[in-house]
Each structure stands twice: as C-alpha cells, then as structure tokens.
Structure 1
Amino acid sequence: MSTVLPREGVGALASVRQVPPGILAGAIIPTMVGVAETYFISFLGTEALTGVTLVCPVLMLVRRD
C-alpha cells in the first residue's frame, strides 16, 4: 500500500533521504550546541548575550577547522 504525497512534498522528502547521515548530523549538532549556549548565556543577562552575539560572527570567520 503506497501513500500519496503532495507534489511539493515529494521533492523535499527525496532530498532529505539522499543526504548522508554524517552531513545531516554535522548540520544539526552545531545548531543544537548554539541554541544551548545561547540559553545558558541568557542567564548572565542581556549584556553578556549581546557580547556573544557581536563576537560569534568574527570567531566564525577567523576559526579554521
């Protein structure tokens, strides 16, 4: 028995199936770490959160993996 998907949903579903698990995890894990860091830094106050927000893009440009 097959399910009928809408036309626009098929392309999105097929593209997710073709992504290797390592690449998918490499995109999801850093995002979750960033969300967790922002959550814990928010307890320090708005000044700390603003400082991290200003410094983070510069670190991403400078850092090489």
Structure 2
Amino acid sequence: MYMAPYDVRDRRFDTKGELKNRGFDLDAAVASGQEVTMSLAYEFSFGGKLEKVVALEYAWDNTQWSIK
C-alpha cells in the first residue's frame, strides 16, 4: 500500500521573520561571517508507531536557501 500526503493549506514560511521573532537575526549572522544551516525534520505516526524523518539541510547565501 502506498500513501502520498497532500495538504491543500498554504503554509508559507517567512524564514527571516520567524527567526527574528525567536531572537535570531539571519542577516547579522551572515554579515559576521557565520555559516547558517537549516535542518528540517518531521514526525508522524502510522499504525501506532512514531516515525521521524530527517529531511535535507540548507545553507543560507544572503538571498536564498540552497541544498547543502
């Protein structure tokens, strides 16, 4: 059996805004020479078992996220 997820909700994520709300200034970190990496992961349960999926890592280059 194969199940493909589909979510019709629009979930735009404003990276700079979300991080700034949590006390992290993305532009200031990059300007000071720090490497900024974002790692994504998610969890779901199926049949009573919790599964964790570690997705890709991204690096910030002043204008966009690029797959690392």
Length-normalised TM-score, structure 2 = 0.26
Point out the structure with the larger strand share.
Answer: 2
Point out the structure with the larger helix share.
Answer: 1
Greater Cα radius of gyration, structure 1 or 2:
1
Length-normalised TM-score, structure 1 = 0.26
Higher relative contact order (Cα pairs below 8 Å, separated by 6+ residues)? 2
